[in-house]
């Protein structure tokens, strides 16, 4: 088996991984970045929204309050403050690199004022990632999927990797997980095909804790094929209409179309149930084709014309607030293992992510985690790969179809229990070798089980987690957080 050695191994080539790699190579470290899919990969290129940077010192407090409010009592205020305080330095760095942020910020849902900076209209994520990739000198291997992490005692010391060229062993002084979320657990999602929760499963197998898995944000306005219609459209004047042509959001929230995403997603869900459909009218936006070219192109690809008629929309799984528990610097608590971006749970998003805070977190924590990893480099003389997790792809594909109902925008105890029983009936195996399909199915099956358990355990409604049988938020249970946190430690194959 071919073996490589590097100081920092970065798994995942979205904004957190690439920006972290830039931070490490700027310090003279050897960096190797692996991407499961061809570049530009991950969810970052799909991000139509921009990056939420505080406008100034006064706005930092307002941005913090908006973040806390959206997170429904589960945001760690110290983590949030530290990320927001550091944010302006990263905007300055990105501008110095020549990235073309638009000078005028826009307002998105949950924000009390315009502070979201875009690049190229609704192509912000794609242009941000391409700009970072163009400035990266470290090698990137495309089509390489991490099968499992290498362990030396309790220390992570690299990864066992699968590619079309065969297996590869990468020995590393530290590993940064930046593998993205678990959106492909759901049948309708805005996430790319590679978003199968691999990094969460890898970290869990290595001894890290997964937490807050029940908090999955559903984007309220996705087209029938899952392509999202940017929330910035509503910030620029687009309105939601039910099948009867009525504007309904003011009945659900004083902020109407600019309410937090969980509120809008539930309103869209209920209006679709009551009236048979929901539509987004983009015609109030001036210069729509220039302002949102991606949205217009995606709609026309489906035979729809947003310049002539409202678009049919529905909620779609969009962003996982939960993931691998880390501190504010991306450390998982496992020596040698760090995580940043959607794979991680820093406490910044709480129960509901504030719009465009995710790219900001990916930048700040990706940079921090890489630098902290360089302080924790170690090269044990030997390391052993953990067995991989695999499952039958056909059975997991069937479960994905059911996950949209059981684990979706509105949850019910009976449906959760029935789904969990079916998920536990599908075998989840430890294997030495497996195909990409079986490995991804193994990650998804593990996370389906854990997410269903978390959703059952949280007998309240909070943020993105809504239980129809427990529609109210529970009373505070913790001195720091209003709500309790559920974390899963690995205890063998579930």
What residues does each domain of the chain span? 2-181+318-374, 223-316
Q: Give 216's Cβ-side CA count (13 Å radius).
A: 33
Tokens of 166: 């065969």
Peptide bond just before 326 cis, omega within 30 deg: no
pLDDT of residue 261: 82
pLDDT of residue 48: 79
Please determine, for residue 478, whether its predicted confidence score (pLDDT) is greater than 50.
Answer: no
pLDDT of residue 356: 92
Residue 159's pLDDT band, with cuts at 50, 70 and 90, is very high
CA distances from 473 to 230, 351, 466, 468 (A): 28, 11, 9, 12
The gap from C-alpha 323 to its chain's centroid, in whole angstroms, comes to 9
Residue 157's pLDDT band, with cuts at 50, 70 and 90, is very high
| Dist CA 412 CA 468 (whole Å) | 6
- DSSP lists the bridge partners of residue 320 as 216
Residues in CB range of 255: below 8 A, 6 or more apart: 109, 110
The gap from C-alpha 151 to its chain's centroid, in whole angstroms, comes to 26
CA distances from 166 to 385, 439, 454 (A): 16, 15, 37
What is the arithmetic mean of pLDDT over 157-175?
Answer: 94
In 3D space, the residue among 352, 22, 71 whose CA is nearest the CA of residue 178 turns out to be 22
Q: Which helix (H) or strand (E) holds 21?
A: helix 15-26
What is the arithmetic mean of pLDDT over 479-492?
Answer: 65
pLDDT of residue 483: 58
Query: Percentage of the chain with pLDDT > 90?
Result: 86
Please determine, for residue 481, whether its predicted confidence score (pLDDT) is greater than 60.
Answer: no
Contacts by residues 75-80 (CB-CB < 8 Å, ≥ 24 positions apart): 75/347, 75/348, 75/349, 75/350, 76/328, 76/346, 76/347, 76/348, 76/350, 76/480, 76/481, 78/328, 79/327, 79/328, 79/346, 79/347, 79/348, 80/347, 80/348
Please determine, for residue 494, whether its predicted confidence score (pLDDT) is greater than 70.
Answer: no
pLDDT, averaged across the chain: 93
Give the model confidence (pLDDT) of 405-420 as tens digits: 999 999 999 999 999 9
Active site residue 113: no
Q: Which fold has domain 223-316?
A: Flavocytochrome C3; Chain A, domain 1 (3.90.700)
How many other β-carbons are positioned within 10 Å of the β-carbon of residue 182?
32
pLDDT of residue 258: 87
Give the model confidence (pLDDT) of 118-154 as tens digits: 998 778 999 999 999 999 999 999 999 999 999 999 9
Please determine, for residue 465, whether its predicted confidence score (pLDDT) is greater than 70.
Answer: yes
Tokens of 373: 């990893």
- DSSP lists the bridge partners of residue 35 as 142
Give the model confidence (pLDDT) of 336-387 as tens digits: 999 999 999 999 999 999 989 999 999 999 999 999 999 999 999 999 999 9
What is the number of residues in the chain? 494
Residue 71's pLDDT band, with cuts at 50, 70 and 90, is very high
Three-state secondary-structure class, residue 132: helix
One-character DSSP codes across 353-410: PPTTHHHHHHHHHHHHHHHHHHTT----S--EEPPEEE--HHHHHHHHHHHHHHSSSS
Q: 36 exposed, middle or buried (CB, 10 Å; 0-12, 13-18, 19+)?
A: buried
**Residue of 123, 205, 234, 261 marked catalytic:** 261
Give the model confidence (pLDDT) of 14-52 as tens digits: 999 999 999 999 999 999 999 999 999 989 988 878 999
> 464-482: buried (b, 16+ CB within 10 Å) or exposed (e) per residue?
bbbbeebeeeeeeeeeebb
Whose structure tokens read 């902020």?
255
How many other β-carbons are positioned within 10 Å of the β-carbon of residue 491?
7
Query: Percentage of the chain with pLDDT > 70?
Result: 97
Residues in CB range of 326: below 8 A, 6 or more apart: 332, 333, 338, 339, 340, 344, 345, 346, 365, 369
Q: Which helix (H) or strand (E) holds 488?
A: strand 487-488
Q: Which helix (H) or strand (E) holds 147?
A: strand 145-152
What is the arithmetic mean of pLDDT over 201-205?
Answer: 96
What is the arithmetic mean of pLDDT over 429-447?
Answer: 94
One-character DSSP codes across 55-80: -SHHHHHHHHHHHHHHTTT-S-HHHH
Contacts by residues 53-62 (CB-CB < 8 Å, ≥ 24 positions apart): 53/87, 53/88, 53/90, 53/91, 53/105, 53/115, 53/116, 53/117, 53/360, 54/84, 54/87, 54/88, 54/115, 55/105, 55/113, 55/115, 59/113, 59/115, 60/84, 60/85, 62/112, 62/113
pLDDT of residue 475: 57
What is the arithmetic mean of pLDDT over 393-415?
Answer: 96
| Dist CA 360 CA 362 (whole Å) | 5
Which CATH number applies to 2-181+318-374?
3.50.50.60
Give the model confidence (pLDDT) of 282-328 as tens digits: 999 999 998 899 899 999 999 999 999 999 999 999 999 999 999 99
């Amino acid at each position: 088996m071919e073996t490589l050695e590097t100081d920092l191994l970065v798994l995942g080539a979205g904004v957190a991984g690439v920006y972290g790699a830039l931070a490490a190579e700027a310090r003279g470290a050897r960096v190797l970045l692996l991407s499961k899919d061809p570049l530009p990969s991950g969810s970052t290129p799909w991000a139509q929204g921009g990056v939420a940077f505080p406008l100034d010192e006064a706005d930092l407090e307002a941005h913090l309050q908006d973040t806390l409010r959206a997170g429904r009592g589960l945001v760690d205020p110290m983590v949030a403050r530290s990320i927001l305080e550091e944010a302006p330095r990263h905007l300055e760095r990105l501008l110095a690199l020549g990235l073309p942020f638009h000078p005028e910020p826009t307002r998105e849902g949950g924000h009390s004022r315009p502070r979201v900076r875009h690049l190229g209209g609704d192509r912000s994520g794609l242009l941000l990632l391409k700009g970072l990739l163009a400035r990266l000198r470290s090698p990137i291997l495309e089509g390489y999927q991490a099968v499992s992490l290498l362990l030396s005692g309790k220390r992570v010391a690299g990864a066992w990797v699968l590619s079309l060229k065969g297996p590869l062993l990468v020995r590393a002084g530290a590993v940064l997980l930046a593998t993205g979320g678990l959106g492909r657990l759901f049948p309708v999602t805005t996430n790319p095909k590679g978003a199968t929760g691999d990094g969460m499963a890898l970290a869990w197998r290595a001894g890290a804790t997964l937490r807050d898995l029940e908090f999955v944000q559903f984007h309220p306005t996705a087209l029938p094929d899952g392509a999202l219609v940017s929330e910035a459209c509503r910030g620029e004047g687009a309105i939601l209409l039910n099948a009867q042509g009525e504007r309904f959001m003011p009945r659900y929230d004083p902020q109407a179309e600019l309410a937090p995403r969980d509120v809008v997603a539930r309103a869209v869900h209920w209006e679709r149930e009551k009236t048979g459909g929901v539509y987004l009218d983009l015609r109030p936006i001036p210069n729509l084709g220039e302002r949102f070219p991606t949205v217009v192109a995606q709609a026309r690809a489906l035979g729809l014309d947003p310049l002539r008629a409202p678009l049919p929309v529905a909620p779609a799984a969009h962003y996982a607030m939960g993931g691998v528990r880390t501190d504010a610097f991306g450390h998982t608590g496992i020596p040698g293992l760090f995580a940043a971006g959607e794979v991680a749970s820093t406490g910044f998003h709480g129960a509901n992510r504030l719009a465009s805070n995710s790219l900001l977190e990916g930048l700040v924590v990706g940079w921090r985690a890489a630098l902290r990893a360089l302080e924790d480099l170690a090269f044990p003389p030997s390391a052993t790969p953990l067995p991989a997790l695999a499952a039958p792809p056909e059975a997991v594909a069937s479960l994905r179809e059911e996950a949209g109902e059981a684990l979706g925008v509105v949850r019910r105890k009976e449906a959760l229990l029935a789904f969990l029983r079916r998920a536990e009936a599908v075998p989840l195996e430890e294997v030495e070798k497996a195909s990409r399909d079986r490995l991804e199915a193994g990650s998804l099956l593990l996370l389906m089980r854990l997410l269903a358990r978390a959703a059952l355990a949280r007998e309240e409604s909070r943020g993105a987690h809504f239980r129809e049988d427990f529609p109210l938020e529970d009373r505070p249970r913790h001195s720091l957080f209003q709500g309790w946190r559920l974390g899963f430690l690995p205890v063998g194959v579930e």
